[in-house]
Amino acid sequence: MAFVYINGYPGVGKLTVANELTHRSLALSEATTSAPHITYIFTDSQSSSDIGLATAQEYETSAKKRRCPFVSIILSCHLEENMRRLQAVGRGESTDTKLTDLDIFRSIRETEDVYHFGGPMELELEVTETSAAATAEKIHAFIRESLPSQDLKFT
């Protein structure tokens, strides 16, 4: 079991990458399942502010309580590409919680830094010219390399 926490600015592609990881059989399940082989993937957009730090660290604390590894993934991309993705057709149609307002987004990018845990269990990826599938493959490889003794049911 492991907790994988994907953090980045809104629109960078966190959910799309998480869905790609799901297709790679990272053994996802509902959070209520307690099977030892389950890998939970969470996506978030937390800054390095006090509130962002406290919120992000709740995930790490949860992993510790379950006695499982915590892997932090930070996704970033160039501003222009990030704005294009933010305005992509279909973004936010299924939920009211997705940010699509470019003025609010610019303010976030100008005033907030994405929270980083740091350390050997964190992978930072610049994904401007990388597909979600290729990004998911890099994350998949990082986790397998970082946690070789874990039974994570990769395909």
Amino acid (1-letter code) at residue 91: R
Do residues 68 and 38 lie in contact, with contact meaning Cβ atoms separated by under 8 Å? no
CA dihedral 152→46→60→36, nearest 10 degrees, is -30
pLDDT at 32: 34
Mean pLDDT computed over every residue of the chain: 85
C-alpha separations of 73 from 76, 114, 116 in Å: 10, 11, 9
Domain ranges of the chain: 2-146
13-22, 48-57, 114-123, range with the lowest pLDDT: 13-22
pLDDT at 9 over 50: yes
Q: What is the pTM of this model?
A: 0.85
pLDDT at 35 over 90: no
- Residue 44, classed as helix, strand or coil, is strand
- Residue 104, classed as helix, strand or coil, is helix
pLDDT at 28 over 80: no
pLDDT digits (tens, 9 = 90+) for 69-87: 999 999 999 999 999 999 8
- Residue 69, classed as helix, strand or coil, is coil
- Residue 30, classed as helix, strand or coil, is coil
Do residues 108 and 101 lie in contact, with contact meaning Cβ atoms separated by under 8 Å? no
User: How far is 94 from 77, CA to CA, in rounded Å?
Assistant: 24
Sign of CA dihedral 26, 30, 31, 35: negative
User: How far is 50 from 33, CA to CA, in rounded Å?
Assistant: 31
CATH number of 2-146: 3.40.50.300
